[in-house]
Structure formats: structure tokens, C-alpha cells
Amino acid sequence: MNNRKTNIQRASSEFFDIVVIGGGITGAGIALMAAKKGWKTLIVDKHDFAFGTSSRSAKMIHGGLRYLQNLQIKLVKEALHEREHLLKEYPHLVKPQPFFMPIYKSKLNKLKLGIGLSGYDYLTGESSMPKHEAIKVDKIKERFPQIKSDNIVGGYIYYDAKTNDARLTNDIIQEAVDLGAVSINYFEVENIICKDNIVNEIICTDNISKIKYNIQAKVYIAATGIWTDDTMKLLHNNSSEQFMMPSKGIHLIVDASHFPKDCVMLLPTANNDGRMIWCMPWDDNLSVVGTTDTEYNGSNEEMTVLKEEVNYILDSVNAQLKDKKLTHGDILSVYAGIRPLLNEKTNNNKSTKRSRDYKIWWNNDNMLTISGGKLTSFLSMAEKVIEEIEQKHSLETSMNNSIKINSIIDKFKHRYGIKNASLIADIAQENIQFIDTFDNYNYCTAEILFFIRHQHAQKIDDILTRRTLISYQMKNYDTLLIQNISDILAKELNWSNEDKQMDIENYKKSWMLMHSWL
Ligand SMILES: Cc1cc2nc3c(=O)[nH]c(=O)nc-3n(C[C@H](O)[C@H](O)[C@H](O)COP(=O)(O)OP(=O)(O)OC[C@H]3O[C@@H](n4cnc5c(N)ncnc54)[C@H](O)[C@@H]3O)c2cc1C
């Protein structure tokens, strides 16, 4: 249970290894990795978690086919690797998604695009998703009847993934909390107190009660995205240096019935600026249509959507739709997001061309800032931050133990999910031999204890037939194993020798029934 009052009390009275400022996806990933290391971690956000850009993205977990054009090979490769990892680790939130890219006469060069997609497949390496394929005009007409096909000379289907960005961020924070991190939203860092090139403490205001608190840690990490310049002002006494050069992107939400429900459609923009608009099925009955990419220097707190931005998207989509055009009346809602793009002198000034890469830098001896990047790359960004910290600070207190806990969680999470794998790891702390697997069966004592303590197992049969598959695998009655399981149950449930004998007899009957055909 996540109790806000207790969390605030802990935050203001305990000394942390790491404080992460900013609970968007970047901060969430760092909090998770730090908690996995066994570091005592606090993550705070001045708004709700994921209030910022991390709930306002295009919801794609992708390598970024478009960035290949700008030859950002490293960025694309890293993101594709992340995509594969997230598909595997968070299948309830990151799902495979086919994309349809039409090729128009005289617009996109088919050969160039084919080469780009082959490069994309190559950079992906081993994948659970199919490679790209060409699709012919007659198939396009059949599969995408809503779009005009007179100018289309062919197309491609390729695969990326989609997510619910806000839920992903909150799930990652929950995972960090399950591993011991403390998390508080509506908790704003308002002052950063430094002495002799180190941060001594930060002053936070609880934006709900308006009470101020002093927070202390060994290392502070700013992951405040588009607020990075504001955070730097807190640190450097209102410095006017501009670290960020953000750009704005808006999306429209419409009913899913307007577009294909199984495939994203990419359509060229009406004003020939070389960009594409995507219409993506989202959450069963919605479609997300976007986006724009324009310079932004407005408020980070209230991001409004302008009529001309909406019209840019509607005009682009309607130029390609056959009959049923999209109108203002079809729009269920709109949202605007601000990309945390870095202000790098070497970067192209046009926001569409500016790098989606990220940067990590030390502000002083114990405060580090990360900014830029993509939703897709949050775990590898977090890994880099952890590496940086390890090079400069030794936060070893609970690390050896935590590495052990981590590898146990990794071992069991596929069978039981993260939460239960953590419970099994806790049990293994009592005696590390509890994770040694039994002869001939891929189960261990820690799992048996987990079934007894957390999943109601009361008898050998409960464990071997309904909590594990051991009864199904046991061709010959395994006296030794049965005795072992009975000993564990007896100790946990205070059985007498008679209780043990009776339960073994009962299990034997159950096992015989499973072999009664012999
Ligand atoms: C239109 C658009 C489309 C995009 N599409 C994609 C996409 O499809 N795929 C993809 O991979 N990426 C995409 N991105 C990029 C991606 O969304 C961002 O890179 C990512 O969400 C940034 O996360 P963040 O945690 O760095 O920033 P944020 O999510 O903005 O988090 C920063 C947090 O810091 C908090 N904060 C600020 N100041 C303080 C303070 N003083 N005290 C406490 N907390 C503070 C804020 O409240 C905020 O929650 C898109 C971005 C945009 C704008």
C-alpha cells in the first residue's frame, strides 16, 4: 500500500542514496534502476506522475524510421533494442502494431523507402515481430478502403509497437516502489541548497497541504524534461542559460470507426512539408491522429491547442480520405505535448530535424541532470545514469544483497509476475539455498513456501497438482521429493508426524488416480 502521509514522513526524516526530481518516464526509469540496485530511492513530482510530456506523446514505442533519414543510426538502434525489451517485459502495456505506409506517384521514392525499411529490420536484429513487406495496390484498396488510391503506386507494411504512456510511467514507478523506493506526487522541488560544490538539501513543498519539507540524499538527479531550464535556475541562482529548445506536437482523439482498427495509417501532410500524419488505433475504441512539430516557447503548465494546428491535421487526413471526411465535430478531444529537445549549437534549428537524443551532465559533485531522449529509450537512458553515478559515487551499502534479490526476481518474474517474484526473493533472503531447484523438477523451496504463505496451499496435493505441475511430470512416484515437500509443510503449518503421514497417504491416492490407466 502506498500511503502518501507515511511517504512524506519518510522523505523528510530519512537520508536517501538517490532523489529523483521529476516523475515522467525518464525519472520513473531511473527510480526503477536505482531501486533494483538496492539504493534507497525517493522520486518526487510537482504534478501527478506523467503529467508532463510522458502522457502527451504519440504513444509509439519505436525505433523511429524517420530518424534514419537524419542518419541517427545509434539512436534508432538503441530504441529498437528497447522496443524488443519492452514488448517482452511489459506485454500488457507495450503491444506490437503494424503500420501502413502508402507510396504516392512522385512523392516517396519506393526504392529509398524499401532500403530504409530493410535497414530498420536489420538494426532490429532478432525480433518477435515480422519484417516489413510490400503491399500491392489491389490489396491496399481492399484493406484500406477509406483512402483515395488513384495516386498510390504501392505501399509497405512494417511493425513497431504502441503503449499507454501515462500508464507505463505509473507502472514503472509502482515497480520501483515494490522494490523499496518511496514515491510522492504533487511534491515540488522549490529550492536546491548548495555548499562547496555539493547539494546539501532540497526544499520541497507539498502542493496539497502547502507544507514545506527538507529532503537530503547522497545524489540528486534532475529528470524534469521541458522544465530543465527552471530546475537549472533553482540550482544556479536564476541563470539564464537555455538548455532546452522544445517543440510542440498536438494530437486529435476520434472514434476508432474512422480508421482501420488493426493498422496505423501513415498519410502525407497536405502542405508538402515532407512530414507524415499517423492515424493509430488506441485502446479498443479510439484513434489517435497526429502530429504537428512546431517551435514552442509558451507555458509548460497549460498547453493549449490552436485551431490552425487542428486544421493542419484535418486538412492532411482529409486530402487522402475518399468519402467520409473528418470534421471538427468528429473530434472527441485534443492534447498538446512539448518535446524536450536539447538546445545544441550543432543541431539544426528546425525542430523536425533536431536530434531526439538525450544528454546527461553533472551539475556539481552530487547532482546530475538528464534531458532529452524518447519515451521508448527510458530504460537505456536510466542505465546510463546509473553507470554515471557508479563511476563517481560508491553507493554500495545494500548493493550486493540487492544484486542477489534482483537476479532472483529476474529468474521468477516470467513464471509469477514481478510482485510475486519479489515475495519469492524475500523468502530467499531467509536462506539462499531456498532457491536451489529440486532434483528432476524445475521448482525450489522458496516457491513452495510462497504457495503456503501467499497462495493458501495446505496439502502436498495443493502444491504438486494445482500450484506447480509436478504431479503431471511425475511418471514414477518420487518418495524423496514427497517427503521433502511434506517436511516443508509440516514446519510451516505445525504438523505432527501423524498429520504428515496422513497427508502423504492422501497425496499417494491422488497421484495413483492420475496413473489409474496403467
Ligand atoms: C507530441 C509528442 C510525441 C511524442 N511521441 C513519442 C513517441 O511516439 N515515442 C517516443 O518514444 N517518444 C515520443 N515523444 C517523446 C517522449 O514523450 C518524451 O521524450 C518523454 O515523455 C519525456 O519524458 P520526461 O520524463 O523526460 O519528461 P516529462 O514527462 O515531462 O517529466 C518531467 C516531470 O518533471 C516534473 N517536474 C518538473 N519540475 C519539477 C520540480 N521542480 N519538482 C518536482 N517535479 C518537477 C514535471 O511535473 C514532469 O512530470 C513524444 C513527445 C511529444 C511531445
List the alpha helices (DSSP H) in 268-353.
307-320
CATH number at 120 reads: 3.30.9.10
Q: Residue 2's pLDDT is what?
A: 66
How distant, in Å, are the alpha carbons of 217, 291, 364, 387 from that of 391?
Answer: 17, 40, 14, 6
Instruction: Give the number of residues written for the chain.
Output: 518
The answer, yes or no, to whether any atom of ligand 1 lies below 6 A from the CB of 161, is no
Rounded distance from Cα 20 to ligand 1 centre (Å) = 14
Query: Is the pLDDT confidence value at 37 over 60?
Result: yes
Strands (E), 117-197: 133-135, 152-163, 182-184, 187-195
Same domain, 273 and 148: yes
Same domain, 414 and 504: yes
CATH number at 8 reads: 3.50.50.60
DSSP for 92-107, please give it: TTEEEEEEEEEEETTS
- Chain centroid offset of residue 129 CA: 19
Closest CA to 132 of 266, 293, 292: 266
Query: Is the pLDDT confidence value at 467 over 80?
Result: yes
Same domain, 417 and 293: no
Structural domain contains residue 203 = yes
For a pocket test of ligand 1, which of 375, 379, 384 has the largest count of ligand atoms closer than 8 A to its C-beta? 375
- What is the tally of structural domains in the chain? 3
Range(s) of the domain holding residue 114: 92-162+246-344
The answer, yes or no, to whether any atom of ligand 1 lies below 6 A from the CB of 351, is no
Closest CA to 445 of 429, 405, 461: 429
Q: Residue 347's pLDDT is what?
A: 46
Rounded distance from Cα 368 to ligand 1 centre (Å) = 17
Q: Residue 340's pLDDT is what?
A: 93
Same domain, 125 and 257: yes
Q: Residue 344's pLDDT is what?
A: 76
The closest-lying atom of ligand 1 relative to the alpha carbon of residue 336 is 1
Structural domain contains residue 239 = yes
The answer, yes or no, to whether any atom of ligand 1 lies below 6 A from the CB of 24, is yes
The answer, yes or no, to whether any atom of ligand 1 lies below 6 A from the CB of 320, is no
**Which residue is associated with the grid cell 487522402?**
320
Same domain, 45 and 124: no
Share of the chain above pLDDT 90, in %: 75
**Residue of 482 and 392 predicted with greater confidence:** 482
Rounded distance from Cα 450 to ligand 1 centre (Å) = 38
Average pLDDT over the chain, rounded to an integer: 91
Rounded distance from Cα 27 to ligand 1 centre (Å) = 9
What predicted TM-score, i.e. pTM, was given to this entire model?
0.81
Q: Residue 354's pLDDT is what?
A: 62
The closest-lying atom of ligand 1 relative to the alpha carbon of residue 251 is 1
For 3, other C-beta atoms within 10 Å of its C-beta total 9
The closest-lying atom of ligand 1 relative to the alpha carbon of residue 371 is 26
d(CA 331, CA 183): 36
Query: Is the pLDDT confidence value at 397 over 60?
Result: no
The answer, yes or no, to whether any atom of ligand 1 lies below 6 A from the CB of 58, is yes
**Residue-wise pLDDT tens digits, 340-395:** 999 876 545 566 666 678 999 999 999 999 999 999 999 999 999 999 999 988 87
pLDDT confidence band for 107 (50 / 70 / 90): low
The answer, yes or no, to whether any atom of ligand 1 lies below 6 A from the CB of 465, is no
Structural domain contains residue 78 = no
The closest-lying atom of ligand 1 relative to the alpha carbon of residue 52 is 30
Least confident segment among 30-44, 57-71, 401-415: 401-415
**Residue of 103 and 107 predicted with greater confidence:** 103
Q: Residue 126's pLDDT is what?
A: 85
CA angle 85, 88, 94 (to 5 degrees): 90
